[in-house]
Amino acid sequence: MSKRRIFPLAVALLSFLYAAVLLAGFVAPYDPAEQDREYPFAPPTHLHFIDAQGTLHAWPFTYALTSSPDNFAQYQEDRGRVFPLRFFVVGENYSLLGFVACHRHLYGVDEPGRLFLLGTDGYGRDQFSRLLWGGRISLLAGLIAATLSLSMGMLVGAASGYFGGFVDDVLMWLVELFLAVPWLYLLFAVRAFLPLHIGPTVAFLLVVAVIGMVGWARPARLIRGVVLSARERKYVLAARGFGASHFYLLRRHVLPQTMGVFLTQAALLVPQYILAEVTLSFLGLGVGEPVPSWGNMLGSLQQYHILASYWWMLVPGLVLVPVFWAYHVLADFLHERVEFGH
Amino acid sequence: MAYFLRRLLHGVLVLIGVSILSFVFVQLAPGEFFSDMRVDPQISPQTIASLRAQYGLDQSLPVRYLRWVRSVVRGEWGYSFAYNLPVSQLIWTRARNTLALTVVAALLAWLISIPLGIYAAERRDRWGDRVTVAGSSALLSVPDLLLALALLRLAIHTKAFPVGGMISTEYADLGPWARIKDVAAHFALPVAALVFGTLPVFFRHVRASMIEALALPSIQAARGYGIARRRILFRYALPAAANPLISLFGLSIATLLSASLLVEVVMSWPGLGPMLLEAILARDLYVVIGAVMLSTVFLVAGNFIADILLYLSDPRIRRSQS
Amino acid sequence: MVADIVTGDGRPLVRVQGLSKTYVQDRLLSRERFVVRALERVDLVIRPGSSFALVGQSGSGKSTLALCLARLEPPTEGKIWFEGQDLLSLRGRALMRARGRIQLIFQDTAAAMNPRLSAKEIIIEPMRIQSVGTRQEQNERAAYMMERVGLPPAWLNRRPHQFSGGQRQRLAIARALSLQPRLLILDEAFMGLDLSMQAQIVGLLQNLQRAEHLTYLFISHDLSLMAFVADEIAIFDRGRIVEQGLPSELFSNPRQPQTRALRDAIPGRSSVLGMGQD
């Protein structure tokens, strides 16, 4: 597949994912915190077209699940009653995008049927709904942290490259120190020195801040390089000859040159930071219960019996693959187009 | 010679800088770290008092730092409040395990990616290249965490490999050859996870460097002279690509150390990773600093080795330094 | 040896006294220090309305003098008077005004223009930096300048790389003139242009000089061309002026070996081959 066709595909995929995650309340059939103690570790619900009598339905449907009292998490389909798939159903209240109160959901089935597209966890919570709500945390954490890192990196790199001298020496030494520690160790160390037991919202902000703070060094160095060479250009000298201030030179001639590096680094850092949040939450150092994040959803897999028996619990990890792929395609594209020519 | 001393000095300065930065950071952290510490109730008050005095726990930052440095020089690397031991006693076995894992994974990853990269570079844009590049991109998209979990699941289901840990419970009863086999079996999964994780990155770089090297005028000239393909590849192109590859080697140490942290935790490999995590949860300050410092030492040492290799392999560097 | 050319009032436009520029490169932890004496006690006087030429080999320090005059490099020693004012002590508003009145046209025109900007933005830039005129006025002046230098105003939307070497040179001149300067310093303005292109630019410059009352300082290595355009020539060698005078005098009676070398380097004028005209 040619590069030119893959790029729009990647953009489409990411837009779709981010949209779905932002509209989590609508797309998800159930509330992420809603526990259904009767259905712990239920496998993904099957959608059927042909019922027990052999009739073909025009519309997919599900069966209710019954559990055998002796076997934990072993379920049987009750073929007695059919629950057709419905769209735009009325369900739990939620606030769309944080401020519009709604109660319509994209899809669902009538009570007492259940449609667990990706199964449930130990508390009977719908994994698909949690995936969407958790995606908000993980995907947005990556984005915000990347913005933080890049802004800091831009500031440091521009100051260092443009003004040179003592400022440059000091800042580059700092960069060297930050890059001397393997980045996950650095992340953990910074996290270590901050309070452990904190509420989910504080945890989210903390995680974003920590990840953002740890990763400024490499972008700073790259941007410094660009600024150094841009600063030496003759047209910058010419503008100085007209009486341009430092601010003007930076704004008009120097910083626009950094856009290429900036964007490419963004495409590389966001997936890395998403993974950082997932890792921290997985180990209990990030966003915790009851707020779902892809990381803490994977956390239960640290118990081997869960890892072995319930494959759908791996989905929050599996969904990272297309996300990473899309960002890598983006990074490649930007690297070729924007960094090396205009 | 002067070059090496300068690089060595630089490395030492970096280590000192990182240690100072860590201590400064502890100081800046909100809340009093030391009051959060869960001190083992089995430690007697006299020991606590002597520890406080010895490490200057209620004194200013510079004093605490200098006491720690003194403790490092003495070989103790601080004190673990959770284990009631000097940190060094905990850290060395863990460091050895991490190093073993990382070095083996690095060697394997390079051993696979170099021939693969050369193969792809030679057949550029042909079928062989496209397949390997696509495969590498696919693998690159799989995060280490998922790889580790997937491999564990595979191990659980196939029972082909032991699941987690470094040694079996019967280790003590096994003879020397069986012991080696036991450790090797436990080695397999973590190494596989690390290798799969870093292989795509190395492969990409080898391929890119080789493509660049093969495009050099000197290589075209060699081809024009009719020199055999294999000879060109290994005696002309590969040395030309060596410079960026050795630099990459230095960088890859950092990636591998970070990757190994996670893999160790997920697969219960007793390295620096699980120790660090445990120390964080137990608020065991000096163990945290010790683990971070040691990982930095490995990284700096790796870069230093890369510098030496670069110096030895690239005559241009030798000339610019004399 | 400065000839008596009096144009306008007797006061010089530019007076340089004892100008020196030394570049020192210190290497940390090394005992070497690179010392480059780019300019050594240079004295010169430029009269208003005249064309003065600095001729010398590459690396003789001519461009450094241009940079000092344009206040883009601080000299190590010496004084520069421009329009009677001490140029080196100017600050703030006064400095901005002075910058507008001294314009430097760089040797490499392509490098001296931001490739991402259009010709219009390039010409307007000095006016924007100095906040001269409204947007409308700036645009009008840009169109006017394009015509003045012989370029079609329709090309205002084009990027620098879309212009040929000679056209870019005109664009550089248009930009330099946007602030109505008094002194134009042209660093190797004719390098890389073929003879017809050179002739055109020379014609344009002479035209502009009369119309806008400009004073030119040419920097070049081409003695024959300078002899054609300049009223007065100073020979530059290793940071010093070694000889100075009217073009005809320098050609007929070169006193210094450097002058002789530059004169003899001109094709068709070689005395070694006995084909010279003197």
Tell the burial category of C218 from Cβ atoms under 10 Å away from its Cβ (0-12, 13-18, 19+): buried
Mutate to test the interface with B, among A1, A7, A185 (most CBs of B within 10 A): A185
CB neighbour list of residue B181: distance below 8 Å, 6 or more residues apart:
none
Interchain contact C252–A (C-beta under 8 A): no
Interchain contact B14–A (C-beta under 8 A): yes
> Which residues in chain A are contacts of C111 at CB distance < 8 A?
233-235
- Minimal Cα–Cα distance from C55 to chain A, Å? 22
The total number of structural domains in chain C stands at 1
Q: Does A181 contact B291 at a Cβ distance shorter than 8 Å?
A: no
Q: Does C104 contact A242 at a Cβ distance shorter than 8 Å?
A: no
Q: Is a pLDDT exceeding 50 seen at residue C277?
A: no
C133 located within any domain = yes
Q: Does C179 contact A256 at a Cβ distance shorter than 8 Å?
A: no
Q: Is a pLDDT exceeding 50 seen at residue C3?
A: no
pLDDT band at C1 (very low <50, low <70, confident <90, very high): very low
Interchain contact A168–C (C-beta under 8 A): no
Interchain contact B26–A (C-beta under 8 A): yes
pLDDT value for C29: 55
A267 located within any domain = yes
Please give the biggest Cα pair distance in chain B: 82
Report d(CA C141, CA C167) in Å as an integer: 18
- Chains adjacent to B (≥3 CB pairs closer than 8 angstroms): A
Do both A141 and A111 map to the same domain? no
Residue of A nearest to C71 (CA): A241
Crossing angle for the helix pair B176-214 and B127-140, to the nearest 10 degrees? 120
Interchain contact B281–A (C-beta under 8 A): yes
Do both A100 and A246 map to the same domain? no
Report d(CA A62, CA A46) in Å as an integer: 6
C127 located within any domain = yes
Q: Which of A185, A278, A284 is nearest residue B276 as measured by Cβ atoms?
A: A185
pLDDT value for C271: 42
C65 located within any domain = no
Do both A83 and A140 map to the same domain? no
Contacts across the A-C interface (CB distance below 8 Å) = 45
C131 located within any domain = yes
Report d(CA C221, CA C229) in Å as an integer: 13
Interchain contact C113–A (C-beta under 8 A): yes
- Minimal Cα–Cα distance from A277 to chain C, Å? 39
> Which residues in chain A are contacts of C71 at CB distance < 8 A?
241
pLDDT band at C32 (very low <50, low <70, confident <90, very high): low
Do both A69 and A199 map to the same domain? no
Report d(CA B295, CA B185) in Å as an integer: 25
CA distances (Å), origin B291, targets A188, B61, B77, C255: 11, 20, 10, 77
For the stretch C101-116, pLDDT in tens is: 999 999 888 889 999 8
For A249-280, letters b (16+ CB in 10 Å) and e give bbebbbbebbebbbbbbbbbbbbbbbbbbbbb
For the stretch A27-78, pLDDT in tens is: 888 888 888 888 888 888 888 777 777 777 777 777 777 776 666 767 777 7
Mutate to test the interface with A, among C68, C73, C114, C183 (most CBs of A within 10 A): C114
Q: Does A234 contact C106 at a Cβ distance shorter than 8 Å?
A: yes
Interchain contact B142–A (C-beta under 8 A): yes
Q: Does A317 contact B146 at a Cβ distance shorter than 8 Å?
A: yes
pLDDT value for B36: 47
pLDDT value for A267: 92
Interchain contact A100–B (C-beta under 8 A): no
> Which residues in chain A are contacts of B267 at CB distance < 8 A?
none
A153 located within any domain = yes
Interface of A with B in 182-241 (CB under 8 A): 182-186, 188-196
pLDDT value for C273: 38
Token look-up 């995680």 returns A207
ipTM of model: 0.87
> Which residues in chain B are contacts of A322 at CB distance < 8 A?
141
Interchain contact A304–B (C-beta under 8 A): yes
- Minimal Cα–Cα distance from B288 to chain A, Å? 7
Percent of chain C with pLDDT over 70: 89
C164 located within any domain = yes
Report d(CA C123, CA C128) in Å as an integer: 10
- What are the structure tokens assigned to C277, written together? 């005209």
Interchain contact A242–C (C-beta under 8 A): yes
Residue of B nearest to A274 (CA): B143
Q: Does A324 contact B140 at a Cβ distance shorter than 8 Å?
A: yes
Class of domain B97-281: mainly alpha
Contacts across the A-B interface (CB distance below 8 Å) = 128
Question: Strands C183-187 and C215-220, how do they pair?
Answer: parallel
C137 located within any domain = yes
Domain-ending residue, one of A115, A144, A176: A115
Taking Cα atoms as reference points, which of B205, B227, B209 lies closest to residue B218?
Answer: B227
Low-confidence ranges of chain A (pLDDT < 70): 1-3, 68-71, 73, 339-342
A330 located within any domain = yes
For B205-228, letters b (16+ CB in 10 Å) and e give bbbbbbbebbeeeebeebeeeeee
Query: What pLDDT tens digit does each residue of chain B (322 aa) get?
Result: 778 888 899 999 999 999 998 888 877 766 555 554 445 566 667 776 777 777 776 677 788 888 888 888 888 888 887 787 888 888 888 899 999 999 999 989 988 988 888 888 888 888 888 888 889 999 999 999 999 999 999 888 888 788 877 877 777 777 788 888 888 888 899 999 999 999 998 998 888 888 888 888 887 887 788 777 777 777 777 777 777 778 777 778 888 999 999 999 999 899 999 999 998 888 788 888 899 999 999 999 988 888 888 888 777 767 766 5
Interchain contact B146–A (C-beta under 8 A): yes
Q: Does A324 contact B141 at a Cβ distance shorter than 8 Å?
A: yes
Interchain contact B258–A (C-beta under 8 A): yes
Taking Cα atoms as reference points, which of B61, B50, B75, B1 lies closest to residue B26?
Answer: B61
Cα C33 to chain centroid, rounded: 31
> Which residues in chain B are contacts of A279 at CB distance < 8 A?
145, 262
Domain-ending residue, one of A88, A115, A142: A115
**Which structural domain range is residue C154 located in?**
110-181
Q: Which of A235, A248, A342 is nearest residue C112 as measured by Cβ atoms?
A: A235
The total number of structural domains in chain A stands at 2
C204 located within any domain = no
Indicate the DSSP class of residue B95.
H
- Minimal Cα–Cα distance from A240 to chain C, Å? 7
CATH number at residue A233: 1.10.3720.10
Do both A91 and A207 map to the same domain? no
pLDDT value for B224: 81
**Which structural domain range is residue A89 located in?**
45-115
The phi-psi region of residue C195 (left if phi > 0; otherwise alpha if psi is between -120 and 50; otherwise beta) is alpha
Q: Which of B17, B146, B283 is nearest residue A177 as measured by Cβ atoms?
A: B17
Do both A315 and A176 map to the same domain? yes
Report d(CA B111, CA B132) in Å as an integer: 16
The three state secondary structure string of chain A is CCHHHHHHHHHHHHHHHHHHHHCHHHHCCCCCCCCCCCCCCCCCCCCEEECCCCCEEEEEEEEEEEECCCCCCCEEEEEEEEEECEEEEEEEEEEECCCEEEEEEEEECCCCCCCCCCCECCCCCEHHHHHHHHHHHHHHHHHHHHHHHHHHHHHHHHHHHHHCHHHHHHHHHHHHHHHHCCHHHHHHHHHHCCCCCCCHHHHHHHHHHHHHHHCCHHHHHHHHHHHHHHHCCHHHHHHHHCCCCHHHHHHHHHHHHHHHHHHHHHHHHHHHHHHHHHHHHHCCCCCCCCCCCHHHHHHHHHCHHHHHHCHHHHHHHHCHHHHHHHHHHHHHHHHHHHHCCC
pLDDT value for A342: 41
Kindly report which listed range (B9-18, B179-188, C48-57, C215-224) carries the lowest average pLDDT score: B179-188
> Which residues in chain A are contacts of C130 at CB distance < 8 A?
242-243
A101 located within any domain = yes
Do both A55 and A168 map to the same domain? no
Interchain contact B195–A (C-beta under 8 A): no
Do both A63 and A209 map to the same domain? no
Interchain contact C111–A (C-beta under 8 A): yes
pLDDT value for C7: 42
Q: For the whole model, what pTM was predicted? A: 0.84
Do both A147 and A273 map to the same domain? yes
C24 located within any domain = no
- What are the structure tokens assigned to A94, written together? 């939620």
> Which residues in chain C are contacts of A234 at CB distance < 8 A?
106, 108, 111-112
Do both A85 and A139 map to the same domain? no
Residue of A nearest to C181 (CA): A242
Residue of A nearest to B158 (CA): A308
